[in-house]
Amino acid sequence: MGQSKPIGLKWRSSTLFIVSTVGIGLFTDLFLYGLVVPILPFILQDRVDLPPDQIQSHVSGLLAAYAGASVLFSPPAGIIADKLPTRQLPFLVGLTALLLATLLLFLGQNVAVLTVARVLQGISAAVVWTIGLALVLDTVGPGNLGKTIGSIFGFISIGELAAPVLGGVVYKQSGYAGVFGLGFAILAIDFIMRILIIEKKTAARYNYNEEGEESNGHTSEEQDGDAEDGHEDSEEDPLIRKEEGAYKIPEGQPKWIRSFPILYCLSNPRLLTALLLAFVQATLLATFDATVPTLAEELFGFDSLKAGLLFIALVLPYLVLGPVAGWAVDRYGAKPAAVIGFGYLVPVLVLLRLVRAGGKTQIIIYCALLALCGLGMAVIGSPSIVEASYVVRMYDKANADFFGKQGPYAQLYGINSMVFSLGLTAGPLVSGSLKDAVGYGNMNIVVAALCLVTAVLSFIYVGGKPNILRKKQR
C-alpha cells in the first residue's frame, strides 16, 4: 500500500494492454508453430542427412511430439497456475520454453535435439493457452468474455493460417536465417509485452483505480456485462436459484479430486458438451489446414503460395465477424450461437463437394464456399469458452472454499487446451485418411455429420436443457 507506483501503471494494467498481450502471446505460439512446419523436411534433409524415405515419418513424429507435449502438460499447467498468486510468472515461463525451443530448432543438428525442441514448443503452447485464457477472464470478467475471445481468435487465426505460407516464402528467399530471424523478432515483441504487463489485482494493491473501476479489478462496464451475458447470478435468476443445488459438491471427496478439483466439474454434461465444442472447432480448423492446400494443388495446380492465399477467404469472415458473434454470445448466451453455428456448417460443408477441377469459375466457387465456412467458424469461436467458464464459475460460487483463492479457472483452461490440442491432432489424421479413402466430397459429409451431432448436443445441453425438454420431463 505504501509502495511507489510502477511507471506506466495505468496503461500497463489496462484491459486493452492485457488482452493485447494475451492475443500476441497466443499469436506467437501459433505463428511460430506454423512458421517452422514447412521447413522441417528441409532441416531433416540438409542438417540431419536423413534419406528421403525417412523424412515423412520423422516429420510426422516431430508434429506428434508437439501435440503430445501440449496434451500432457496442459492440465498440470492449470493446476500450478491456480496455486500461484499471479498469472504473469507462468506466462513468462511459457515464453522462455518457446524461446529455447526456437533456438534449438535453429541450431539442432540431429533428431534428438529437434524432438526436444518440439516438446518444449508443445509445453509452451500448453502454458500460454492455459494461462492466457485465465488471464483474459481475470481481466474482462465473464460478461465480456465472448466478444473478447471472438476478437482474439479472429486475430490469431491469421497467424495460424498464414504462417506456413509465409514460412515457405521466407525460406525460399532468405533460407533458415530469414525464417528464424522473423521468429526471434516476434518473440522479442512478445517478451517485452509480457514483462510490462501488470495484472488488475496487482494494480489494485497500489490503491490505483481508473475512473469507473471497482476494487475487484473489473471496470463498471465489464461488471454491467455480467448482467447481460445471458447467465445472471443465482440470486437474480429463478431458474438458476432453483437448480443451484446441482453445483454443490458433497463433502468427503477423495484426495485426487481435492488435488485437481476441476475433475468433479467434468461430471456436468454442460461442461462436457462445452469441451466437445472446443474439440470439434479445433478439428475443423485442422481439417482446413490439412486439406485446402492439397486440394488446391490437385484441382487447380496451385503452388504453396497460391494455396495459402485461399485461406484469406476463410480467415477474413472469421476476423470480421468474430467479435460480433462473441458479443452475441455474451448478450444471449452460448446456446443460440452453438446450435446455429454448427447447424449452419452442416449444409455448407456438404456443398464443398461441388468443387471440381477447372479454371477461374471453380476457383471463385471454392473461395465463396470457404468464405461461408469462415462465417460459421466465427460463430462457433466463443460458445465453448463462455459456456465452460460459466459452469465452472457456478461451481466456484457454490463451493467457495473447495477451489481455493484463485478458483479453478486455469485448471479449466488447461483441460480446454488439452482438448483443443487433441482436435488439432485428430483433424489432419482423420481428414487426410478419409480424403484418401473416400474422396474430398465424402470426407466433408463425415465432417458435416460431426457438426450435426454437435449442434444437437448443444441444443440439449449448452445453456441448460431447453424448455421443451423440461416440460417433457415433467
All residues at 6 or more sequence positions from 284 whose CB lies less than 8 Å from its CB, including other chains:
345, 377, 427, 447, 451
pLDDT recorded at residue 220: 41
**Mean pLDDT, residues 432-451:** 86
CATH, residue 376 = 1.20.1250.20
Residue numbers of the domain that contains 342: 9-204+259-473
Average pLDDT, the chain: 78
**Mean pLDDT, residues 377-387:** 86
pLDDT recorded at residue 56: 59
**Mean pLDDT, residues 343-350:** 94
Q: What angle do CA 339, 344, 348 make, to 5 degrees?
A: 155
CB distance 155 to 27 below 8 Å: yes
Distance CA(377)–CA(321), nearest Å, equals 9
* Residue of 315 and 472 predicted with greater confidence: 315
Task: Flag whether 149 is in a domain.
Answer: yes
pLDDT recorded at residue 230: 42
CB distance 13 to 218 below 8 Å: no
Task: Flag whether 317 is in a domain.
Answer: yes
pLDDT recorded at residue 268: 87
Task: Flag whether 214 is in a domain.
Answer: no
* Residue of 6 and 338 predicted with greater confidence: 338
pLDDT band at 458 (very low <50, low <70, confident <90, very high): very high
pLDDT recorded at residue 260: 77
pLDDT band at 473 (very low <50, low <70, confident <90, very high): low
**Is the pLDDT score of 469 beyond 80?**
no
Point out the least confidently predicted range of 24-38, 72-86, 203-217, 450-464.
203-217
Please give the grid coordinates belonging to residue 349.
460443408
Distance CA(48)–CA(55), nearest Å, equals 10
Task: Flag whether 233 is in a domain.
Answer: no
Point out the least confidently predicted range of 145-154, 333-342, 417-426.
145-154
pLDDT recorded at residue 276: 93
Please give the grid coordinates belonging to residue 376.
460459421
Please give the grid coordinates belonging to residue 75.
492440465
CA max distance for the chain: 72
CA distance to 42, 225, 283, 377, per residue, from 163 (Å)? 17, 35, 19, 19
Distance from the first to the final alpha carbon of the chain: 56
* Residue of 164 and 348 predicted with greater confidence: 348
Q: How many domains does the chain have?
A: 1
pLDDT recorded at residue 165: 66
pLDDT recorded at residue 343: 94
**Is the pLDDT score of 413 beyond 50?**
yes
Task: Look up cell 456436468; give the residue.
Answer: 268
**Is the pLDDT score of 53 beyond 80?**
no
% of the chain at pLDDT higher than 90: 9
CA distance to 196, 200, 225, 230, per residue, from 219 (Å)? 21, 10, 10, 19
**Mean pLDDT, residues 92-99:** 86
**Is the pLDDT score of 425 beyond 80?**
no
pLDDT recorded at residue 438: 84
pLDDT recorded at residue 471: 58
Task: Flag whether 437 is in a domain.
Answer: yes
Task: Flag whether 249 is in a domain.
Answer: no
Task: Look up cell 524461446; give the residue.
Answer: 99
Task: Flag whether 196 is in a domain.
Answer: yes
Distance CA(469)–CA(294), nearest Å, equals 44
Task: Flag whether 216 is in a domain.
Answer: no
CB distance 334 to 386 below 8 Å: yes
CB distance 384 to 281 below 8 Å: yes
Question: Among 207, 353, 348, which Cα is nearest to 284's?
Answer: 348
Question: Among 218, 274, 247, 237, which Cα is nearest to 402's?
Answer: 247
DSSP 15-69: HHHHHHHHHHHHHHHHHHHHHHGGGHHHHHHHTS---HHHHHHHHHHHHHHHHHH
3-state secondary structure of 395: helix
pLDDT 10s digits, 195-253:
888 887 777 777 544 444 444 444 444 444 444 444 444 444 454 455 556 778 777 77
3-state secondary structure of 304: helix
Question: Among 281, 306, 440, which Cα is nearest to 360's?
Answer: 306
